[in-house]
Amino acid sequence: MIALILRDVKLGVRAGGGALIGILFYLAVVTVAPFAMGPDLNLLARIGPAILWTGALLASLLGLERLFQIDHEDGALDLLVIARHETPLALTVFAKCVAHWLVTGLPLVLVTPLLGLLLNMDATAIGATALTLLVGTPAITFIGAAGAAVAVSLPRGGLLVSVIILPFTIPVLIFGVMATLGAVETFAPFLQPFTFLAALTLFFAVLGPFAAALALKGLQD
């Protein structure tokens, strides 16, 4: 399992620069926002967390297609499915999700402080956004694994994955932005939405790999 994570991380970083595209997309979404809303720094500071969360969500959705696609093309996915009597398939999918998140999700969290500075957010808001993204983006990857597995055999599944996964990510977005707001404003609670966000991540960490494993098994017959 560790070996699988290491292999996927290496492949993700080296081959084709998938991680870099995610970050660039995130950067593009965040830079487009001030152009669309005008360069009012106070306004940007207030809605900054929402912009960052939307950008991170879209960037995560964009990269989901790569989760199984490359392995499916070169046949490695079939081997992983066949080996399910030694390692349960759900565990394999979980490992792949962790690797995928390390390559695409974690960089998003790491560049968030920089983008927060561009949006004139103060230190608490930046810290809160990075923290909620750190807790929340794995949920998107885990539930996205189910969508990616369902669409992996389709010729042009990339956009379809985003469309069918988007409804499931809305609660993650809601609680993530709510927790960030709670950290910044005094009237809103922080801990309650934050624990909800963590619960969503844990819940999807179980549900997503199981559903994805079921879909991948169905692919074989």
Partner 1 sequence: MSDAAASKPGFWTSLANPTRFMGLSASMLPWLWAIAGVLTIGGLAWAWNAPQDYQQGVTVRIMYIHVPAAWLAMFAYAVMAASALGTLIWRHPLADVSIRAAAPIGAAFTLICLITGSLWGRPMWGTWWVWDARLTSVFVLMLMYLGIIALQRAMDDPAKAARPVAILVLVGSVNIPIIKFSVDIWNTLHQPASVIRFDGPTIHPTMLWPLLVTAIGFMGLFAAMHMLAMRNEIRRRRAAALRRAGARGPSAAPATAVLEG
Residue numbers of the site for partner 1 (CB under 8 A)? 143, 146-147, 149-151, 153-154, 157, 160, 163-164, 166-168, 170-171, 207, 211, 214-215, 218
**C-beta of 189 vs 218, nearer to partner 1:** 218
Least distance from C-beta 110 to partner 1, angstroms? 30
CA distance 31 to 177: 19
Compare residues 60 and 112 and give the one whose CB is closer to partner 1. Answer: 60
The minimum distance between CB 209 and partner 1, in angstroms, equals 12
Task: Select 39 or 155, whichever has its Cβ closest to partner 1.
Answer: 155
Q: By C-beta, is 43 or 207 nearer to partner 1? A: 207
Residue 196: name the closest of 217, 213, 177 by CA: 177
Q: Return d(Cα 48, Cα 70) in angstroms, integer.
A: 35
The span from the CA of 217 to the CA of 221, in Å, is 8
Q: 215 to each of 55, 90, 154, 188, 212, how far by Cα in Å?
A: 28, 11, 13, 40, 5
Instruction: Please state the closest distance from residue 134 (CB atom) to partner 1, in A.
Output: 24
